[in-house]
Structure 1
């Protein structure tokens, strides 16, 4: 889930930072029986979150064969005729689930519409479930394409594994803040999650400078876990140097970043950083962001240790759902 809390960047200048642009953290230690090993991973996460809120994880335990199948099914879906994809337009959904057409989103003010198409899914809820009938934010049934028969089981299996990974990373974030390891257990109960498939065609050779695959933005919420192919194109803003870092994909890893809600939660101790995509690879690019947003009813207020003695929190308490509704109003109006 994305925010348009961005500024306009007239220049497309960037610095190729290679595979070491972001810290790579092996999170397998979070499953260790040794508390000292788990705490060491927490300290690495803290350093990355204070620096710019972006890091790369290995040792995550997600099945590589499942990752490959997610990409295969994503490519099969986006290869469908336009009319079949539009039949699943997310405008038909009460929960923002389904297809988003090419150029439907403009993440950066002053830029052209984003050069990408997407597909949204989340935790499945029946149309007559109490939370859906009550109009709870982002709760509802998914839309599934009958034209890609293996699409649903693959995506549901991936959703399940990624939800478990989100819970494990929240334990790491608790340790990073020197909080009890299961401090975020309530936040993780019945967590709102969004799986998004993205397809970027190659950037035209003579593209307008204002054309992006995805314009500069920060993410709305808690935790984003990005699986990307080897085409590259992700850029992260380096505030110290005032340049875009070209982040080279690292095989077998996930790019992790914090959203605006988590920054708010830490009183801006942890960063929610601008990023964008420009696909200059000359070929199709596919990526799969997973947004772990937490329990809608969970109350977000300044976390212990994130205010200096005598300092007041910058933000009033808010629930996860209130935060998301506010961000959607700012971004989309209404």
Structure 2
């Protein structure tokens, strides 16, 4: 069942300036669905267009060429992920999507790499796409900066000082993921989706989607699936499991899924902003009412990520 109930559109320009009405709208969105559209975000439209163009060029390569940058070639899982490599909705068919992971480009002799920190290491880049690396590196920096702005905006929405998340935002764990969805077959396997119903692992996700559509968000109070169609010039922003944990579920991390019924290829670009790996996340002081207790014990960002990745990659 679906509904035409829509997600709110917020202005980044007003939100980042501390506009009280926009902060209140952010708080309402975070408490209701954990999803909203973000307009006026300041990321260059030409850079966004280049990201989609380079992504399409990469996924058009033969699988034999993409194997050269397969994420299983490195311990830190950056690179190409083939079709049906991940099952986000437990008990369902593997997801009908392929992806490419990009992280901060960390040198092989960096102490964090030598120590085997989760997900840390140099990127793998396709050899025959000369503009790919520069485009993704520029976009990674822009999305990382925007993620920090959204985290700062969450502080007043939670009744906290504007700089409350400064230490969390310092050297954040981030992942850029390029995704390619073939059209859903007319007779899919039972339960097969482009991306099965799931919640995101980290703190916030900044999603770019093309005009194919297919993203749906579940209203957990009714079970209804809400269509989140593309709106030109916006990101879809959602809160992840770490924020739900941190806020004692005052702010939502809602299930969402993708079903590509467009009849053509679909491309999307999620950017996962998670925060400093060593930061200890424990229930925020403003998220406990009288008589309430934290639902979770303290945990580092890195330990939380490792737990959540293990659940979907087995």
Corresponding residue of 1:170 = 151
SS state at 1:150 partner:
helix
Corresponding residue of 1:327 = 308
Number of residues paired by the alignment? 314
Correspondence for 1:297 among 268, 278, 282: 278
The alignment's TM-score, normalised by the length of structure 1, stands at: 0.91
Q: Deviations over 1:67-109 (max 9, x none)?
A: 0000000000001111110111100122210000011111112
Correspondence for 1:63 among 34, 44, 50: 44
- Does residue 101 (structure 1) correspond to residue 89 (structure 2)? The answer is no
CA contact (8 A) 1:48 1:55 kept: yes
- Does residue 26 (structure 1) correspond to residue 11 (structure 2)? The answer is yes
**Cα-Cα RMSD:** 1.2
**Structure 2 unaligned runs (5+)?**
none
Q: Tell me, in whole angstroms, the C-alpha distance in 2 between the residues paired with 1:79 and 1:329.
A: 29
> What displacement does 1:318 show?
0.7
CA contact (8 A) 2:16 2:150 kept: no
- Does residue 113 (structure 1) correspond to residue 94 (structure 2)? The answer is yes
Q: Tell me, in whole angstroms, the C-alpha distance in 2 between the residues paired with 1:322 and 1:21.
A: 35
Corresponding residue of 2:244 = 263
- Does residue 14 (structure 1) correspond to residue 41 (structure 2)? The answer is no
CA contact (8 A) 2:16 2:153 kept: no
> What displacement does 1:40 show?
3.0
Q: Deviations over 1:247-280 (max 9, x none)?
A: 2111110111111111000001011100000000
CA contact (8 A) 1:121 1:196 kept: yes
Corresponding residue of 1:143 = 124
Q: Tell me, in whole angstroms, the C-alpha distance in 2 between the residues paired with 1:136 and 1:284.
A: 35
Corresponding residue of 1:156 = 137
Q: Tell me, in whole angstroms, the C-alpha distance in 1 between the residues paired with 2:271 and 2:27.
A: 21
Q: Deviations over 1:42-89 (max 9, x none)?
A: 211110000010111101000000000000000000011111101111
> What displacement does 1:328 show?
2.6
> What displacement does 1:209 show?
4.1
- Does residue 47 (structure 1) correspond to residue 28 (structure 2)? The answer is yes
Q: Tell me, in whole angstroms, the C-alpha distance in 1 between the residues paired with 2:309 and 2:186.
A: 34
Corresponding residue of 1:286 = 267
Q: Tell me, in whole angstroms, the C-alpha distance in 1 between the residues paired with 2:260 and 2:310.
A: 29
**Structure 1 unaligned runs (5+)?**
1-12
